[in-house]
Amino acid sequence: MKEISPEATSDVKSVDAVELLSRKFPGSIKPDDRKGYEGIVVDSSKLPEVATAIRDELGFDLLANLSYVDYPEEGVFEVVYNAYNTAVGGKGLTFRVRTSRDEAEIPSLIGVWPGVDFQEREAWDLMGIRFSGHPDLRRILLWEGFAGHPMRKDWREPFYEEDNKPYGTRWPEGQVQRAEMKTPYGMNVQYPGGFKLEGWEPEGEEALYAGLGTPLGIGPDIHQIKTDQLIVNLGPQHPSTHGVFRMAVTVDGETITRLKPVFGYLHRNHEQIGERNTWLQNMPFTDRLDYFSSLANNLAYAISVEKMMGQEIPERADLLRVLMVELTRIQNHYSAIGFLLNDLGAFFTPVLYALTERELILDLFEATTGSRMMCNYMRFGGLAYDLPSYIGGPAIKEGDRERELDTMKFIKGLVYERLPRATDMLDRYLTNNEVLVNRLKGVGVLPGDRAIAYSATGPVLRASGVPYDLRRADPYSIYNEFDFDVAVRYNGDSYDRYLIRLDEVRQSLRILEQVVPRLEETEGQEYMGGKRSYNHRVPAGDHYGHAENPKGELGFHLVSDGGGNPYRYHVRSPSFINLTALEEMCVGHKVADIIVILGSIDIVLGEVDR
């Protein structure tokens, strides 16, 4: 059932791409010659044609990321696309489009890659760039009627202090003040000048419901019964939406005819705060993206910035990174399976079994990094700490019970005994269960080509028969030194998305079995490359770095102006983009299946809404 994805080589160099494209579109293509930037600049009028050529002729079929940057001095917005080749892997192609700040309109690519749907809406919402031809260009993370586009460099939040941290009011004359005391409302709000409540009406959600009326044409009509269409809202407070996620669903009887996800209930302004922060200050914030796998987020961010800085990493640090990230992947997949079963109605027993194993992994995280979930463990060039000498701590409180478990013994116990046994246990417990099979098999099928078109990544993509795993396709850290297979399943239904998580856990364990002996060999070696510093300067430039997170490709599009703070900090979050395919997967199924399909995608809202 598995196969190794081809060696990571790209047969299309980006220089060739420029040549080929400029021959085909003379005058519309030019290489980006700014220092530290890569890729090509495309004339916005020719964008859809060029994009089609990039997809079909150059083979970059997966549009991984759409990011947007504001350059107020030049008066332009820039939209940056990163396309990758799922067949051969390797480096991707970056292409960008510029538009003036006043008009801010570029053609939508939704006809070429439907996966840009939510990303273009996000760019419209937060930056105010119009995408002509987008059928449903509404605000996505904020709400209709919100004043302004907050990611613009000249937009200021109510609690604005300075453009960049550290703020001058903290030292040496720091006078503590709650930020809400500075606004007249005593709250984090502001209203545009001249706003009057009298006669004002909230915009409401007509725009959302307007698009839900027309069924997609896959309606049931099996028995020729005349039925009414009904709009049902699931969430944002619903026990099985994995957080504050909401779906507006049109149902015909029990059958779904349209589905629209509604986002933003956990939009915490990660990117905007990230641009105020220094490079290092973003590290603990990345913990809170996908809060199940903070260490994997740390790694993705660390390798992206290290790449820009040209930082070398010592071997031990790399080994520990792989150890932590693979353990993160295991506990994430365990929880994903557990919560999927919860959604199916197997209330709590599978979750309890999964969380028991997770707790033991978290014990290692807590002893090593200091926190169970928000690990904040990686630094540019290495790690914050080495492994501790023991798991457990001194008794200080009344009732405290001590444990002193040797760390290496604990890790070996996990990797060689406990986790393989637990994986087999879950397998035996669930995989052949008839109820589970009936509820999952053939539900929410996403064929491979559609998965690529929707920019799906991670287990969702691989369960659809596309062996695209960044650990093999575009290797980072030291993954190319380990022997493991890329797990693939071919049916693309919810059952395969369940099975592939078990496969991936087994592959992660295989990697860990190779890591543990090398950890023992490198014991006591340096785990931090370069100088430990808190004010990093990153050379000016633009970089898209990505890593294979448990939920898919987590990418960071970073732009530096050479200063101590990122000029642009964009997060390509896998959960958010994997949801683009949700409507197609759900239409035609019953209401109860939405929950199953959503559970099988495995989203986490911290990352969806950022």
Partner 1 sequence: MTMTPDDYSDLNNPDIPIPDELKSNIAITTLDRIYNWSRARSVWPLLFGLACCAIEMIATAASRYDPARFGMEVMRPSPRQCDLMIVSGTVTKKMVPQIVRLYNQMAEPRYVLAMGACASGGGPFKEGYNVVDGIDKFIPVDVYVPGCPPTPQALLHGFITLHKKIEGQSIMSVPWYKKGQSEAIPVPVLGPDLIDPRQGELIQAASEGEYSAQFETDENA
Partner 2 sequence: MYGLGIIKGLGVTLKHLVETYVDDFRWGVRRYTTDDGFVARQSTDTRGIFTVQYPEEKLAVPERFRYIPFLVVYDDDHPDHPGEIWCTSCGICTKVCPPQCIWIMRGKHPETGRPIPDPEYFYIDIDICMNCGLCAEYCPFDAIKMDHDYEIASYDRTTAHIFDKAKLSKPLSYWQKIAPSRALEEHLARETK
- Can residue 353 be called a binding residue for partner 2 (CB under 8 A)? yes
Query: Cis before residue 172, ω within 30 degrees of 0?
Result: yes
DSSP string of 500-511, one letter each residue: HHHHHHHHHHHH
Question: CB under 5 to 8 A by kind: which of partner 1, partner 2, none does 591 bind?
Answer: none
Q: Which of 430, 456, 505, 571 binds partner 2 (CB under 8 A)?
A: 430
- Can residue 9 be called a binding residue for partner 2 (CB under 8 A)? no
Distance CA 566, CA 533 (A): 16
- Which residue has tokens 């840009």? 116
- Which residue has tokens 């997609």? 216
Per the structure block, which two tokens stand in for 395? Answer: 């008794």
Shortest reach from residue 305's CB to partner 2, in Å: 15
Contact string 149-168 vs partner 1 (x = CB under 8 A): -x------xxxxx-------
Question: CB under 5 to 8 A by kind: which of partner 2, partner 1, none does 534 bind?
Answer: partner 2
Largest pairwise CA distance in the chain: 77
Angle at 448 between CA 447 and CA 452, to 5 degrees: 120
Short-list 159, 51, 39, CA closest to 92 = 39
Cα–Cα distances in angstroms (integers) from residue 28 to residues 12, 18, 49, 74, 88, in the given order: 20, 11, 11, 20, 27
- Burial string for 160-187 (b: 16+ CB within 10 Å, else e) reads eeeeebbeeeeeeeeeeeeeeeeeeeee
- Can residue 475 be called a binding residue for partner 2 (CB under 8 A)? no
- Can residue 237 be called a binding residue for partner 1 (CB under 8 A)? yes
- Can residue 310 be called a binding residue for partner 1 (CB under 8 A)? no
Shortest reach from residue 584's CB to partner 1, in Å: 26
Phi, psi of 203 (to 5 degrees): -70, -25
- Can residue 508 be called a binding residue for partner 2 (CB under 8 A)? no
- Can residue 544 be called a binding residue for partner 2 (CB under 8 A)? no
How many other C-beta atoms lie within 10 A of the C-beta of residue 125?
25
- Can residue 385 be called a binding residue for partner 2 (CB under 8 A)? yes
Q: Which of 2, 153, 372, 450 binds partner 1 (CB under 8 A)?
A: 372
Judged by CB, which is closer to partner 1: 171, or 200? 200
- Can residue 391 be called a binding residue for partner 2 (CB under 8 A)? yes
- Can residue 566 be called a binding residue for partner 1 (CB under 8 A)? no
Contact string 117-156 vs partner 1 (x = CB under 8 A): ------------------------xxx-xxx--x------
Distance CA 441, CA 430 (A): 13
What's the one-letter identity of residue 300?
Answer: A
Judged by CB, which is closer to partner 1: 21, or 422? 422
- Can residue 410 be called a binding residue for partner 2 (CB under 8 A)? yes
Contact string 238-277 vs partner 1 (x = CB under 8 A): xx---xx-------------------xxxxxxx-xx--x-
Judged by CB, which is closer to partner 1: 142, or 341? 142
Question: CB under 5 to 8 A by kind: which of partner 1, partner 2, none does 384 bind?
Answer: partner 2
- Can residue 402 be called a binding residue for partner 2 (CB under 8 A)? yes
DSSP string of 407-463, one letter each residue: HHHHHHIIIIIIHHHHHHHHHHHHTT-HHHHHHHTTSS---HHHHHHTT--THHHHT
In DSSP terms, 558 is beta-bridged to: 543, 569
- Can residue 348 be called a binding residue for partner 2 (CB under 8 A)? no
Per the structure block, which two tokens stand in for 574? Answer: 């896998």
Q: Which of 33, 73, 228, 434 binds partner 2 (CB under 8 A)?
A: 434
What's the one-letter identity of residue 309?
Answer: M
Q: Which of 417, 449, 483, 520 binds partner 2 (CB under 8 A)?
A: 417
Distance CA 307, CA 413 (A): 35
**Cα atoms in the 13 Å half-sphere on the side-chain side of 416:** 11
Distance CA 477, CA 321 (A): 8
Residues 69, 559 contacting (CB under 8 angstroms)? yes
Of the candidate spans 60-68, 69-77, 192-200, 436-444, the one that interacts with partner 1 by CB under 8 A turns out to be: 192-200
In DSSP terms, 569 is beta-bridged to: 558
Q: Which of 15, 176, 197, 396 binds partner 1 (CB under 8 A)?
A: 197
Shortest reach from residue 274's CB to partner 1, in Å: 10
- Can residue 173 be called a binding residue for partner 2 (CB under 8 A)? yes
Judged by CB, which is closer to partner 2: 193, or 399? 399
How many chain residues touch partner 2 (CB under 8 A)? 71
Distance CA 460, CA 493 (A): 9
Shortest reach from residue 522's CB to partner 1, in Å: 31
Question: CB under 5 to 8 A by kind: which of partner 1, partner 2, none does 188 bind?
Answer: partner 1
Question: CB under 5 to 8 A by kind: which of partner 2, partner 1, none does 298 bind?
Answer: none
Question: CB under 5 to 8 A by kind: which of partner 1, partner 2, none does 150 bind?
Answer: partner 1
Phi, psi of 410 (to 5 degrees): -65, -45
Return residues touching partner 1 (CB under 8 A). 141-143, 145-147, 150, 157-161, 178-181, 184-198, 200, 202, 236-239, 243-244, 264-270, 272-273, 276, 284-285, 288, 291-292, 351-352, 355-356, 358-359, 362, 372-374, 605-606, 609
